[in-house]
A and B are shown apart, each in its own frame.
Chain A
Amino acid sequence: EAGVTQFPSHSVIEKGQTVTLRCDPISGHDNLYWYRRVMGKEIKFLLHFVKESKQDESGMPNNRFLAERTGGTYSTLKVQPAELEDSGVYFCASSQAPGVRGYTFGSGTRLTVV
């Protein structure tokens, strides 16, 4: 089966600009998650979709971050306007049965805000 696909793999933007990250989960996986790792810190949860609904968005840092999942398929994470502290690696993961099969992660998007 195809894995979790994320793009772009890298993005460099200026402070104040907008960036949109995209994640295509494994086909048939209802659960989709966003995580991020900022420099020197552990990977942290951002939010969880079940199909097109946000199940848990407690990890979203502030209202500059907006996540959507169109029709329960791919998801986008928009940062607007971007700040320097948003730099890091953003990971997407999907799962059909996390308690039994765990999670499959994408390769991540490395975001650099200058």
Chain B
Amino acid sequence: DIQMTQSPSSLSASVGDRVTITCRASQSIANSLNWYKQKLGKAPRLLIYAASSLQSGVPSRFSGSGSGTDFTLTISSLQPEDFATYYCQQTYSSLGITFGQGTRLEIK
């Protein structure tokens, strides 16, 4: 199956900072990559699909890029509600959908 590796596993940042999270696939997945945000005790929320398409209702400070094996999620100006755990998800393989291990974004 396709392995997804996120980096960093955790990071600390301040409100207003620009933050980038990286997701790397063990083989090419074209643009079959989605991003989710999960706050503690809540279900995940879809942010980005198809690597760079913003889900309806998601603030424009979130953006995604990449194709092939390397992808990034960028938050242009961190807001207090953005401190959460972020997951990437690949949906390229017919053998199954897999997630990255998560990136925990904490307040500095």
- Real binding pair: no
User: Which residues on B are within 8 Å of A, measured CB to CB?
Assistant: none
Binding site for B on A (CB under 8 A): none
